[in-house]
Amino acid sequence: MVAKSKDSLAAKAIQMVYEFPGNLQKGWEAEPSGDDKYVIYRRDGTTREVSIHTPVRTMKGDFMPIKDDFGVLIIGEWSVLIGRGINHNLHARKLIKDNTYLVLDEKMTQLGRYTIGDKVEGSPVSLVSGHLIKVGENVIPVMPKKHDVTLMVMKTPKEDGLKAFINIIEKGNAMNRRDGARGVFIRPRAEGEPAQFVETYAGQRVVTAKFWLEKNEGKVTYSYRTAESALKSNILTKQLQESREVAIYAGIDPEDYHEYVEISQKLERENSSWRKAGMAVSVGADFFKPIGNDKDFNREP
């Protein structure tokens, strides 16, 4: 959703999402073998040759292999990096600066920035292909940018918070800022508590995102889930409380009450749907702090 022009911006945060297409098979590699054919090397050492002109039979059906623009061979839901000798524990992201790449490990730790031509371990950093760079002895896949996720918080009061929008911005998508989520941004009530993004779904208010401001105040860690999952969690939480009261009224320890235990397990599974990521804060870091701690908008929203 797009904010109306009369709304003034209070805060903005952006997550840049990088991801290979499909369900990437870690440790698998595909090597061209001529005539639009590829040999797939699986992690367990087995191989299989496929052609982009012949359907491949899998457990989920027959699929025609596709070589995409990001150096990945896609077969149905799964995908394989094209290349050999790849370090699958690292990945690189191309930066705005020409020919410069940021290298990260599996824990998203930044290992360094490298420009093509830099010397590492006596050898120049080089582009092996459009999707692979060589840094020292490591051949590293370049992960493509998929889209941006933006949080925009306006200074316009709404319900018990501020009007807010979360949008996915994709290159060339005409629906950018028109098909996102709109809701209420609720600032933390106390230190250590997260800010929340609340949507109305099926007539109920549900929390679909939480934000924690990091110490440097330039980033927020955030957790997110779908509105459907949030609604299920609300329903199960209510059912759990009702079941607990029934058990106590009957003189039973809730942990010994079959229905309470069953609902509790369902709620635990539903709450595992939360996903974590990070956002860079470009405007209004104070709005991720408890009310009263900000510098320029010190009032209850």
Sign of CA pseudo-dihedral 276, 280, 282, 287? positive
Angstrom distance (rounded) from CA 181 to CA 201: 11
| Residue 31 contacts residue 39 (beta carbons within 8 Å) | yes
* Cα within 13 Å of Cα(229), Cβ side: 13
pLDDT value for 293: 58
Of 191, 237, 186, 189, nearest to 208 by C-alpha is 186
| pLDDT per residue rounded down to tens, the chain (301 residues) | 545 456 799 999 999 999 999 999 999 999 999 889 999 999 999 999 999 999 998 888 899 999 988 899 999 999 999 999 999 999 999 998 788 999 999 888 999 999 999 999 889 999 988 899 999 999 999 999 989 999 999 999 999 999 999 999 887 776 666 668 999 999 999 999 999 999 999 999 999 999 999 999 999 999 999 999 999 999 999 999 999 999 999 999 999 999 999 999 999 999 999 999 999 999 999 999 998 755 544 444 3
Alpha-carbon 281 to chain mean position: 16
What is the reported pTM? 0.76
Tokens representing residue 191 in the block: 């230190």
pLDDT value for 7: 75
